Structure 1
Amino acid sequence: METRITWSQIILLAVFAACLAISVFALDIEKDSNGYLILTVAGSVLGWIFQDTIKSVAAFFYLRANGLLQIGDLITVPSRGIEGFVRTISLTTVTVENWDTTTSAFPTYILHSEHFKNSQRMLDGKTLGRLMQKAFIIDTGWFHPLTEMDVERLKMTLDVDECFIKHTIKTGALNMEVFRQYVYHWMMNNQHVIQQPRLIVRWLEQTDNGMPLQIFAYLSDTMFDAFEWRQSQIMEHIIKAMGWFDLQLYQSPSGYDASNSNLFITRQAADYRKKNEDNARL
């Protein structure tokens, strides 16, 4: 399908170029001084009308000559909100089937003039995995040193090797420090997490909302559905592990939190109706 469309467009362009050449000879520019002016104006008008087509044709040959785009490739065009598999490529148009089964068609020159990402090598297993990058904002009000009771409880709860327990879980160590090391150790031993090119578990800069713990890892499951499933499992385990270390995710107070607060400024409830009646008399 792609070959048929491409060759038909090339033939159409060749015919158009031939017609243009015949028109130039018909004007007999050498004998008619006005021919130069007519040719210049016509070229400017045609160039303006077909500027997108000309750019797309140039982009098509550039992308194909450098092996940057093939039928079936998974591509992402962030500026256009496009992410899916390439279905057709022509001299002027690229068609992509998005993840939500919708179809996007756009001029070929967009892939030359704007940033796009081709993830096909990753899906084909020619890279080390698919990137997982997540951040969990932890409420710093829950940071505290581990007590002997905390240490004993963690030794019974965590399913880790004795070496990690002996060298990491100690009385007086901050729970946030031990939690970070546990997450790193757990991901190091996760068969779906690739340790190369890098595996990073780090604290980011403190914010007004808390301190973010960032996970930067590559997963061996690269297909969209398998990757999202595995990523969700890892996130769920990390959130579950927070409870073992007495840590909590930060969440802005909601109306429910305010209505169920145990904080009272005065023992006597405010009577707004009485106050409004007094203001009305004044």
Structure 2
Amino acid sequence: MNRLKHLIYEFLVSAGIPETTAKYLNVLLLLIALLLLIFIIDFVIRKLLIQAFTQFSQRTKTDFDNLLVSNKVPRNIAHIVPFLVALEFIPDIFEDFYDFEIIVEKGLQVFAILLTLWVVRSILNTIKDYLKTLPRFKDKPIDSYIQVFMIFAWIVGFLSAIAIVTGISYVKFITGMGAISAVVLLVFKDTILGFVASIQVAINDMVHIGDWITFEKYGADGDVIEINLATVKVQNFDKTITTIPTYALISDSFKNWRGMANSDGRRIKRALFIKQNTVKYLTPETIEKLKDIELLTGYLETRQKDITAYNTANDVNKTLLLNGRNLTNLGVFRKYIDAYLNSHSAVNKDMMIMARQLAPTTQGIPLEIYAFSSDKRWENYEYIMADIFDHVIAAVPYFDLEIFELPTVLQ
């Protein structure tokens, strides 16, 4: 390089150009030649690396190398060689211009920091995309981890660049940054909150990608499709997207349906409201008629024998049904619902099955069905629940009961 430099300088001087001007032209021509050389080297190495990575990825079964190419890892690595060439020749080019040499070298050092960050970011993005293809990592907030690391990396890179440009030692510069830490905390408040929230969400296993969550404050009701440092994206069941601040997951209350999804059934919990004035004791004749209901035949026969034996043993006066022990139409209906649920093919028999009576209200007596469907898919779950209540509502008149309805106001 020095020999070429002297040859060009001598040629310019021999051409009648003043020495001072010849020095500047010499540096300018060498700089243009270096930039052209760097461009050619970068182009050639980039093409060779990309081609080599592409051919190699086609021969392997793993997708990792394909992701390296798609995330531009070879392209970013290819910039390293031209950078080293520039770093080697810049001192020779600016040998007679020390001030320019210092400026250019600082510029190259700052570029080295940026190049390192680009390479690290492309590699981390490759790792992120690859982990998302693995089943055990699909529900993990990989984006948050990558973003946290890159934020620290960019902060360190930014501070290093300022330290290089200003000429202040890195330690002194970091010490000085403590004086403006309050401003930094204010500017990066949301980022810091998101960072803390991401760690707590991950450690406490609060939300996974793919979880169904309900967050009434933000109008979210659907599946989590993305978790990153600042936001959580939820695709609602109407296909809209709701964006929730990550720190809201630890500051506010929300419902995660993962427990239901991982269980053996989905809960059915709904009540019918029975008119109180339709509840009554059953006469022997009515009991005989209800024995025609197959699900109640065995129960009624057993209960009737037990009640008759008790009333006889205690010499109960049965001229009034109120005396002694008796069956009621509501109690028998409740038993029928329980038997029906236990015979229904879509109800999980290994989980709680119950037909229970709740406290009376102004709308009547709530008779609640509490059970779990075997099929947890939303569409099938709704079908199963509707099928059960279709049958139960249609069965109410057979027990001389009525369902409460608000009276129609005639105009």
- 1:63 and 2:198 matched: no
- 1:150 and 2:286 matched: yes
- 1:163 and 2:298 matched: yes
The 8 Å contact of residues 137 and 213 in structure 1, kept in 2 or not, is answered as: yes
Q: CA deviation at 1:250?
A: 1.3
- What code does the residue aligned with 1:89 have? I
| Higher RCO structure (Cα 8 Å, ≥6 apart) | 1
Q: CA deviation at 1:69?
A: 2.7
Distance 2:380 2:245 in 1: 32
Distance 1:173 1:74 in 2: 45
Q: Is the deviation greater in 141-150 or in 129-138?
A: 141-150
The 8 Å contact of residues 85 and 98 in structure 1, kept in 2 or not, is answered as: yes
The 8 Å contact of residues 219 and 242 in structure 2, kept in 1 or not, is answered as: no
Give the secondary structure class of the aligned counterpart of 2:291: helix
Q: Describe the shift of the 1:14–1:240 C-alpha distance in structure 2 as closer, same or farther (beyond 3 A).
A: same
Q: CA deviation at 1:21?
A: 7.6
Residue by residue, what CA displacement relative to the aligned partner does 1:250-273 show, whole Å, maximum 9, x if unpaired?
1222314xx6xxxxxxxxxxxxxx
| Corresponding residue for residue 130 of structure 1 | 266
Give the secondary structure class of the aligned counterpart of 2:271: strand
Q: Describe the shift of the 1:16–1:179 C-alpha distance in structure 2 as closer, same or farther (beyond 3 A).
A: same
Of Structure 1 and Structure 2, the greater helix share is in: 2
Distance 2:159 2:271 in 1: 59
Q: 1:115 aligns with which of 231, 237, 253?
A: 253
Q: Is the deviation greater in 170-179 or in 55-64?
A: 170-179
Alignment of 1:123-272 (within 5 A): 123=261, 126-156=262-292, 158-160=293-295, 162-168=297-303, 172-256=326-410
The 8 Å contact of residues 218 and 244 in structure 2, kept in 1 or not, is answered as: no
Distance 2:330 2:296 in 1: 20
Q: CA deviation at 1:148?
A: 3.8
Q: CA deviation at 1:145?
A: 1.5
The 8 Å contact of residues 198 and 247 in structure 2, kept in 1 or not, is answered as: yes
The 8 Å contact of residues 132 and 219 in structure 1, kept in 2 or not, is answered as: yes
Distance 1:184 1:150 in 2: 20
Please give the root-mean-square deviation of Cα atoms over the aligned residues, in Å.
3.2
| Corresponding residue for residue 185 of structure 2 | 47
Q: 1:103 aligns with which of 241, 251, 268?
A: 241
Q: CA deviation at 1:161?
A: 5.7
Alignment of 1:82-97 (within 5 A): 82-97=220-235
Larger Rg computed on CA atoms: 2
Q: CA deviation at 1:65?
A: 3.6
Give the secondary structure class of the aligned counterpart of 1:193: coil
Q: CA deviation at 1:23?
A: 6.8
Residue by residue, what CA displacement relative to the aligned partner does 1:60-102 show, whole Å, maximum 9, x if unpaired?
2232344433322222224433221111121111111111221
Residue by residue, what CA displacement relative to the aligned partner does 1:123-163 show, whole Å, maximum 9, x if unpaired?
3xx4121111112111101111223443243233x231631
Structure 1-normalised TM-score?
A: 0.75
The 8 Å contact of residues 197 and 250 in structure 2, kept in 1 or not, is answered as: yes
The 8 Å contact of residues 24 and 39 in structure 1, kept in 2 or not, is answered as: no
Q: Is the deviation greater in 48-57 or in 163-172?
A: 163-172
Q: How many residues align?
A: 249
Residue by residue, what CA displacement relative to the aligned partner does 1:33-63 show, whole Å, maximum 9, x if unpaired?
xx97x845x4333323432321222222232
| Corresponding residue for residue 151 of structure 2 | 12
The 8 Å contact of residues 196 and 218 in structure 1, kept in 2 or not, is answered as: no
The 8 Å contact of residues 148 and 195 in structure 2, kept in 1 or not, is answered as: no
Q: Describe the shift of the 1:140–1:161 C-alpha distance in structure 2 as closer, same or farther (beyond 3 A).
A: closer
Distance 2:188 2:350 in 1: 48
Of Structure 1 and Structure 2, the greater strand share is in: 1
- What code does the residue aligned with 1:192 have? A
The 8 Å contact of residues 147 and 229 in structure 2, kept in 1 or not, is answered as: no
Distance 1:219 1:151 in 2: 32
